[in-house]
Amino acid sequence: MADEVKLPADSFEPLDKSKHLDSEKIAAPNLTFMQDAWRRLKKNKSAIIAMVILVIFFVLAFGSAFFSPHNPNAVNPQYANLPPKWPGLNINGVNGTLVQAGTRVNAYQAAGAGAGVHYWLGTDYLGRDMLSRILFGTRISLTVAVVATAVDLLIGVTFGLFSGWKGGWIDNFMQRVIEIIMSIPTLVVVVLLILILKPGMMSITLAIAFSSWTTMARLIRAQTLELKEQEYVLAAKTLGESSFKIAFKHLLPNLSSIIIIQTMFTIPSAIFFEAFLSFVGIGISAPQASLGTLLNDGQKNFQFLPYQMWYPAIVLSVIMIAFNIFADGLRDAFDPQTKE
């Protein structure tokens, strides 16, 4: 008979508590939904850059009272149409010179401006500081967009969530209401509001808010119809949870990506629409400035003084591009279906 194999006496003793198997270690820390979204957002470099750009624009725009070097509405006819001048730089385009009749001349000396007078982005046809007007104009454009987006969120999400959750004849009736509102051109709404209210921020904001929430409502309604048939929602209903609790606990977290991406698209759309209305002359009224009014004033002298139109156009373009890139990054970060 073969020799029996003798095992050590401690072969079947439990491991000491100080000894941990590598396979039992937690690979990643336990993160909340917002912490996990922020972690994935930080990996998207383009979205972070766009977010920083937007933060800078918001700080400069809403802090324009502190950052503006001049009064944006102060008229100085003697300094009209001066080019940009940056102190200490002798580079064409930012040294206060213009080309007139084939000769480059110092516009500031020709206007009798002192050595300490300089305008970073030049002046307009009334001698108003372009930098100050762009800062204040950006604030007005962003204010209109943010207010319109807040209404979009408040009405659109609530309307779409209620319509999709109830279903049946209530859903059909609410969708017909949306179709009626969407059939009315926004420009017609603006003109009607201008007849009732005076032209300005109020009429433009109400017009954008009246027509912009319908897209959000239809998107939320479509997703709600799909989500309410999921097992976790049916289980919550079986356990007796109220519709209000189900909406905030189960539906809204899964709708967050759609809400965020649509919100980020609504803001630049509202900015562009406000700029369009002000550009054609039915938006913000003088002496207030918005990006649209600045573009309208700049295009009149674009052939000879292109900087008056280029700077507002660059600001408008950068804001819209940054919002779109940031929206894509937020969609990828908040969407639970894209988890790594």
pLDDT at position 56: 94
Q: Which residues contact 92 (CB under 8 A, 6 or more apart)?
A: 104
Q: Does residue 139 surpass a pLDDT of 70?
A: yes
Name the helix (H) or strand (E) containing 97: strand 97-100
Matching residue, tokens 């002359």: 281
Burial of 149 per CB tally in 10 Å (0-12, 13-18, 19+): buried
The mean predicted confidence, pLDDT, of the chain is 81
Q: Does domain 45-78+125-334 have CATH number 3.40.920.10?
A: no
Highest mean pLDDT among 44-48, 91-95, 244-248: 44-48
Q: What are the pLDDT digits (tens) for 216-235?
A: 899 999 888 888 888 888 88
CA 198 – CA 200 distance, rounded (Å): 6
Q: Tell me how long the chain is.
A: 340
Interval 292-306 mean pLDDT: 85
CB atoms under 10 Å from CB of 51, counted, come to 17
Matching residue, tokens 């109020």: 202
pLDDT at position 339: 47
Q: Exposed e or buried b for every residue in 55-71, given b needs 16+ CB within 10 A?
A: eebeebbbebeeebebe
Burial of 187 per CB tally in 10 Å (0-12, 13-18, 19+): middle
Highest mean pLDDT among 143-152, 200-209, 312-321: 312-321
121: three-class secondary structure by DSSP = coil
Interval 235-261 mean pLDDT: 81
106: three-class secondary structure by DSSP = strand
Q: Does residue 274 surpass a pLDDT of 50?
A: yes
- Nearest partner of 49 among 334, 333, 321, judged by Cα: 321
Per domain, the residue ranges of the chain are 45-78+125-334, 83-118
pLDDT at position 3: 58
pLDDT at position 74: 84
Q: What are the pLDDT digits (tens) for 176-194?
A: 999 988 888 877 877 787 7
Of 32-36, 96-100, 106-110, the poorest mean pLDDT is in 32-36
Matching residue, tokens 């919100």: 263
pLDDT at position 108: 83
Q: For residues 121 and 112, is the Cβ–Cβ distance under 8 A? A: no
